[in-house]
A and B are shown apart, each in its own frame.
Chain A
Amino acid sequence: MFLQTVVTGLSIGGIYALMAVGYSLVFSVLSFSNFAHGAVIMLGAYIGLGLVTKLHFGLGLVVSGAMAGAGLIAIVNEKLAYSLLRKRKAPSLYLMISAMGCAVFLENMVYATIGSRFYAFPEFFKQSVLCLFNGTCNIALLDLFAFGISILAILGLHLFLIHTRTGIAIRAGVSDMTMCSLMGVNLDRLISIVFFLAGIFGGAAGVFLGIKYLVYPTMGWVTNKAYIAAVIGGLGSLPGALLGGLILGVLETFVSTYVSSVMRDVFSFGLLIALLVWRPNGLFGRDTGEKV
């Protein structure tokens, strides 16, 4: 039972991490919590669902299509809802409120256009379960796949930020936006790229969530857990998002299994509060900037 708990916890944590990356990326550059990210994830899931049910794409194309679509949605979201506020130098609190508005708006738009019913993805891996240790520990192939993709994608993003010109520009923006723009970096383009990257991760997370669970308009609210993961790891830090996601996933599963499933969220949020008291910037957070 112990092994199974670890495996289940890691597979839940992998998806938390994938979602947490989107929060961390945006926070690192703009210092606000983009609560519309959950809605982008939800739209990513719907795009993936459309690709598979209407156009009968395979899993690879579905994931990449949803990633591209969610990335574009994230850019449009930034251009319409945040860029004007940003140019007027509005405090980050206003950006956050605007983000909450976007989340509710997008959700209700889906209610009004697509409807409130639930959808399920077709089964890509038909009932394929990997049995380990004489069947004491089972893992679905999909979970393994999602976990692998999550880790690879986060690693890829890390390399991108370290080795490419755009990556260096983003990291420069993280430490000082004004200075960065004085050096000739096009800030609008830079921020669009950051939102695109966050959206890409949201799209992938959306498809995995949709396959694992169901697709429906309010599915984006699951991301409040991912947000906690990002805060635990330190908002704005990539390794932090990964570690925070895995810690939260494993902790939740252990509490559900060995303490009580009803107490689960008491522990997750308790951990959050304790951690913020002990290390206000999370495990890997920078010392500057305020948490929202």
Chain B
Amino acid sequence: MRRMLSFVLVLVFCLALGGAALAADTIKIGHTVSLTGGASMWGQSEKLALDLLIKKINAQGGVLGKKLELISYDNRNDAVEAVNVARRLVNDGVVAVIGPAQSGNSIATAPVLENAKIPMVVTTATNPYVTIDKRTGKVRPFAFRPCFIDPFQGTVAAKFAYRDLKARTAAILYDVGSDYGQWLAKYFEEAFTKEGGKVVAKEAFRSEELDYRAQLGKMRPLNPDVIFIPTSQKEAAMAAKQARDLGIKARLMGTDNWGSPDLIELGGEAINGGYFVNLTDLADPAIKNFVAEYRKAYGADPVLPNPVMAQDALLMIVDAIKRAKSTDGTKIAAALATTKNLQVTSGPLTIDPKTHDPLDKPAVIQKVDVATKSFPFVKKFYPGGK
């Protein structure tokens, strides 16, 4: 019996050794993503897109002669949970991290990964302070992103409202508990005022609140041309319905968090004719191949923009590892900062070494069309007013 036991122990030991040896043959990429919770629609699609790309890269021989291995953990779109996930990924020995997708979670995650000297490339976190440390004003050495940032997004929304929709007065309804909404409200107000328009009302609500009729009721007598609602699809849908209940006819405008397919199902007729800023568009010729591949593999459309941005993030990391010829976090980060004219899923990408944000990343405006249940493309904006 005892001999049997020791045999089993030796066997287990060998297997463990073998497992460790095998594991060392892969390069582990961490992925912090909300697979459950309010943002799970994008999160799930993001993971599927990454699985697809990892398979493709591994089939072509991997990176530095090793296969890539994706480790995805659910951060439940919660800042505390995101920090836990980051610690787990550090313990797992990942060389770089993709995500999170939300600004608040990313700002919470950044210091953890910075201490561990592991670079992170967030997917759709658009707040400036994801890559810039707010206290010191210096760029965070280990934080990068492939998406545009909120000052640009807010400016695009304001310019579109003023120039294309000919709006002269605007009201803003935002979530005071979210970094995303609070800053976008500020950037929109600044840009809209600079264009020559006037923000007649700026009303806030607290996260998880459901009724905005008090705030909307305050806007109604001021009769704004547009109401800017930088929230996710859930709040936007409810605000739209309640605005119509109060008889408000103003046009509604939103940001990239609106771009979820269930926006139309949740908002119904009330959200019809609204406009929002997005990172990518299903009809964009640049991502045609990706969309076709995704449809073929999963039989559904990707939930944009996250899957595209996650692939961009992975391609940035792969390119950096190749150029650094190393899986050392500090070297990968240094290479990420000098990413130049890299062909990623959404098009060519160059990272600004001073801010770790992409240069020349365009934004698209989409319209909410309830009849066809889609978001038709309206206009593309480039930074620098092109």
**Contact residues of A with B, CB < 8 Å?**
1, 4-5, 8, 12, 111, 116-120, 123, 126-127, 129, 131, 135, 138-140, 143, 209, 212-214, 216, 221-222, 252-253, 256-257, 261-262, 264-265
Contacts and interface: CB of A to CB of B under 8 A. Distances in A.
Interface string B248-287: 0000000000000010011111100000000000000000
Contacts of B221: 1
A258 B211 CA distance: 16
Contacts of A135: 247
B138 interface: no
14 contacts: A4-B246, A116-B38, A117-B262, A120-B237, A120-B265, A120-B268, A123-B269, A135-B247, A140-B245, A143-B245, A257-B214, A261-B215, A264-B206, A265-B206
A212 B210 CA distance: 9
B53 interface: no
Contacts of B93: none
Interface of B: 36-38, 40-41, 176, 203-206, 208, 210-211, 213-215, 217-218, 220-221, 234, 237-238, 244-247, 262, 265-270
A116 B37 contact: yes
Contacts of B268: 120, 123
Contacts of A256: 214-215, 218
Contact of B211 (A118, A131, A213): A213
Contacts of B208: 221
Contact of B266 (A111, A118, A143, A209): A118
A123 B237 CA distance: 13
Contacts of B262: 117-118
A113 to B, nearest CB: 13
A262 B238 contact: no
A264 B206 CA distance: 9
Nearest to A141: B245
A253 B213 contact: yes
Contacts, number: 87
Contacts of B237: 120, 214
**Max chain A Cβ within 10 angstroms of own Cβ: one of B213, B221, B266:** B213
B21 to A, nearest CB: 37
B205 A8 contact: no
A117 B40 contact: yes
Nearest to B40: A116
B38 A252 contact: no
A5 B176 CA distance: 22
Given A123-B268, A213-B211, A129 B238 contact: no
Nearest to A253: B214
Contacts of A143: 245
Q: Which 10 A-B pairs have the closest CB atoms?
A: A256-B214, A140-B245, A138-B247, A213-B210, A120-B266, A8-B213, A253-B214, A257-B214, A4-B217, A261-B215
A257 to B, nearest CB: 5
A178 to B, nearest CB: 42
A249 to B, nearest CB: 9
Contacts of A4: 217, 220, 246
Contact of A261 (B40, B214, B234, B238): B214
A157 to B, nearest CB: 25
B69 to A, nearest CB: 27
B213 A213 contact: no
B170 to A, nearest CB: 18
A71 B37 CA distance: 28
Contacts of A252: 214
A54 B268 CA distance: 19
Contact of B204 (A139, A257, A262): A262
Nearest to B265: A120
A191 B24 CA distance: 62
Given A117-B40, A117-B262, A213-B210, A261 B247 contact: no
A127 B246 contact: no
Nearest to B268: A123
Central interface residue in A119, A120, A222, by most chain B CB within 10 Å = A120
A240 B20 CA distance: 66
A231 to B, nearest CB: 20
